[in-house]
Structure 1
């Protein structure tokens, strides 16, 4: 099964990326996921279920430790035709 995760961390800072946002992005960029897209208002990544779920667990723990006060995320099953 393939999954797509979309997430944002808060609080926002438009002048400089906060530590929690940097940590969260680093986790998905180094997790071996496919189609990673990071941006100032949200991040998206796809991959196998085990890889995505492991990255989400790590991202949540590290972002909260780094000061995130809210993390919004959505996980979707990706069908073969959805890519």
Structure 2
């Protein structure tokens, strides 16, 4: 299964990237993910389910520890239906 994560961290600072934003970017860029896109108003990355979920866990823990007061994220399954994922899990 492939996932796409989209996230932002707050509070925003338009003058300089806050520590929590820098940490979040480092976590995502160092993870084993595909199609990483970081920007000042939102970030996205894609990859296998295990890699994305591991990165999200690290992103939350490290961003909050670095001063984030809010982390907004969305995770979407891409490239397949939920039914095909469940049938593959049942084959294991």
TM bucket, shorter chain: over 0.9
Separation (CA, whole Å) in 2 of partners of 1:52 and 1:42: 16
Partner of 1:41: 41
Higher helix share: 2
- TM-score, L = length of structure 2: 0.86
Unaligned runs of 5+ in 2: 81-92
1:6-42 superposed Cα distances (whole Å, 9 cap, x missing partner): 0000000000000000000100000010000000001
* 1:16-35 map, 5 Å: 16-35=16-35
> Across the two proteins, how many residue pairs are aligned to each other?
80
Gaps of 5+ in 1: none
State the Cα RMSD in Å: 0.7
Corresponding residue number in structure 2 for 1:74: 74
State TM-score, norm by structure 1.
0.95
Distance in 1 (alpha carbons) for counterparts of 2:29 and 2:42: 14
Q: Which has the larger radius of gyration?
A: 2
